[in-house]
Amino acid sequence: MLNRIFGLETEYGLLIHEDHPDHSPTWFARKIRDQLFHVQRRGVLDLHHRGHDEPPGNGGFLANAGRIYLDMGHLEYASPECHSLTDVVASDRAGDLLLQQALEELGFSEQVSLIKNNIDHETDATFGSHENYLVSRRFPFSRRGLAPLVTFLVTRQIFTGSGRVGSAAPQDAWIQTDRLIVPRSALGAHQVSDLSFQISQRADYIVNDFFEWVQHNRAIVNTRDEPLADPNQYRRIHLLLGDSNMAEYATALKLGTTGLVLQLIEEGHAPQDLEIDEPVEALQEISQDQERRWLVQLRSQKTMSAVDIQARFLDCAARHCKGQDEETDWVLAQWASVLHDLGDDYQKLVGRVDWASKLWLLECFREAEHVDWVDPMMKSLDLEYHNLNRQKGLYHGLLEEGRAPRLTTDRLIHLAMETAPKNTRAYGRSELIRHLLNDPPPSALDQLPAPDGLFPPYVINWSIFQVRGRAPFPMPDPFRTYLEDVRTHLQSVIV
């Protein structure tokens, strides 16, 4: 994609198949982490505090330049920086496979399932799938400038949602209104009725249009300014409203369409007359609409369907972006195809759109077993759609039957488990990780002098690293590989 760096962060559910387990999900998560870093030696653990909730050893960078760590007890995988949709989908799937293989090597696959979803039906908790898009520092990051992005994000769930059985309880959160921050309950937030099925897992948990905090005050657009790159050149758009996707097609379409809308905004070509009157309410109403009409009220008091709104964005993208590269043309073609099929029978989307695939599987089960939506088995099957175990996961069953199109291959995914994309700074970071793993071995690093007795053998962050005995090495440009620079730097020792 043109001038775009993509990244995904995925938090995984961990389901224990025992009524009275001896160990907690966090215990299993730590065992998986330790298997990856200590036994398989897939990467190097952090030896420094990354924050109050990330002590040394909590996680680390992998040889593919991504990260695996524990976040609030959840295993989380952050992909390396990717410059193409193919790379980001392959890297995303690589994270799934790394964790699943570690679970199987530990012999836990019968006791525990790794679930790539966003909700816990028992506790009503949610865990995220975060998207990252690099934009220029000139990007109009204001309420007015971001209005087209908000409209796009609210309505894109019609093809990016993963679907869920039921609904979440009303969220206890703080809402920003003008210059005040008030409890959501003070605004008379409506109570969510119990639903059979809705198209998004995260929509019920989004309570703001713009907000900086991540937990408990989740927003359509997260406003935290943390570019992880040269702050004079770049900004990182960090989104946490989306669902974790199992379908490779949906992952690529989600990232690709969002990337193109960001380009439209950057270049001043985005439609300006589609601002939604109440974006948070519209986000939830679209997800919960049982008739799938997906009507939205705009600030102009005009009512449009989410499909028609998406079609407006598609028309703009086709006029201004078509022909710029092969991936853009693929996104435009598939965007049009999905919007066309959304206007017809949802079953045409099985294998491409996760909520449609899940709904079809659940309806088939209901018809065969004559059960209602309130049957506990429906929530169990909901989770099984996201099971990473290829022998058990319902999505993997669609793959085996040839119902789900692939954008990658098994070989490409295995390659992405070991190597970083070769056209971003992830490639240089991967070289550093391999150096720390192999040349010299980690034990030799501990013998290097530490004048203050405190500095660890290495400190690695996304945009800078330092190995003891050498100066800090900044990597502010995500589009540079830094490969030869990293090699030269690691060969020279400060004396």
Contact (Cβ atoms closer than 8 angstroms) between residue 404 and residue 394: no
**Same domain (yes/no): 85, 144:** no
- Residue 273: both structure tokens together: 């007359």
Q: What is the pLDDT of residue 433?
A: 98
CA atoms of 68 and 99, how far apart (whole Å): 9
Contact (Cβ atoms closer than 8 angstroms) between residue 112 and residue 24: no
Output phi, psi for 9, to 5 deg. -120, 125
CA atoms of 215 and 221, how far apart (whole Å): 13
**Same domain (yes/no): 181, 281:** yes
**Same domain (yes/no): 109, 143:** no
Q: What is the pLDDT of residue 444?
A: 44
SS3 (DSSP) at 209: strand
CA atoms of 436 and 63, how far apart (whole Å): 10
Instruction: Residue 293: give the domain boundaries.
Output: 138-246+255-342
Q: Which of 394, 400, 409 is nearest to 117 (CA)?
A: 394
CA atoms of 208 and 176, how far apart (whole Å): 7
Of 342, 361, 384, the residue at which a domain comes to its end is 342
Q: What is the pLDDT of residue 445?
A: 47
pTM for the whole structure: 0.93
Q: What is the pLDDT of residue 441?
A: 45
CA atoms of 453 and 449, how far apart (whole Å): 8
SS3 (DSSP) at 162: coil
Is 128 within the bounds of a domain? no
Is 362 within the bounds of a domain? no
**Same domain (yes/no): 107, 154:** no
CA atoms of 375 and 311, how far apart (whole Å): 37
SS3 (DSSP) at 275: coil
Spans in the chain with pLDDT lower than 50: 189, 192, 441-442, 444-445, 447-449, 494-495
Q: Which H helix or E strand runs over 61?
A: strand 59-62
SS3 (DSSP) at 23: coil
Whole-Å CA distances, 110 to 107, 172, 388, 395: 8, 36, 13, 19
Angle formed by the axes of helices 483-491 and 426-438, to 10°? 30
Is 17 within the bounds of a domain? yes
Of 284, 318, 342, the residue at which a domain comes to its end is 342
CA atoms of 67 and 73, how far apart (whole Å): 15
Is 355 within the bounds of a domain? no
Q: What is the pLDDT of residue 309?
A: 98
Of 342, 369, 391, the residue at which a domain comes to its end is 342
Q: What is the pLDDT of residue 469?
A: 82
**Same domain (yes/no): 208, 280:** yes
Q: HSE on the CB side for 51, CA within 13 Å?
A: 8
Is 231 within the bounds of a domain? yes
Is 397 within the bounds of a domain? no
CA atoms of 283 and 311, how far apart (whole Å): 17
- Residue 200: both structure tokens together: 């998004």
Q: What is the pLDDT of residue 455?
A: 81
Instruction: Give the list of residues 6+ apart from residue 172 with CB closer than 8 angstroms, or none.
Output: 183, 184, 185, 216
CA atoms of 466 and 464, how far apart (whole Å): 7
The count of domains in the chain is: 2
- Residue 285: both structure tokens together: 């109403």
Contact (Cβ atoms closer than 8 angstroms) between residue 131 and residue 8: yes
Q: What is the pLDDT of residue 54?
A: 87
Q: What is the DSSP string of 379-411?
A: HHHHHHTTB--TTT-HHHHHHHTT-S--SS-HH
Q: What is the pLDDT of residue 72?
A: 83
For β-strands 219-222 and 208-211, DSSP reports them as parallel
**Same domain (yes/no): 60, 143:** no
- Taking only the tens place, the pLDDT of each residue in 65-107 is 999 999 988 999 999 999 999 999 999 999 999 999 999 999 9
Q: What is the pLDDT of residue 211?
A: 74
Q: What is the pLDDT of residue 476?
A: 98
Q: Quote the radius of gyration of the chain (alpha carbons, Å).
A: 23
Q: Is the peptide bond before 271 cis (omega within 30 degrees of 0)?
A: no
Is 325 within the bounds of a domain? yes
**Same domain (yes/no): 331, 259:** yes
Burial 109-141 (b: 16+ CB within 10 A, else e): bebbbbbbbbbbbeeeebbbbbbbbbbeeebbb
**Would you name the residues annotated as active-site residues?**
71
Residue for token pair 């330092």: 466
Is 383 within the bounds of a domain? no
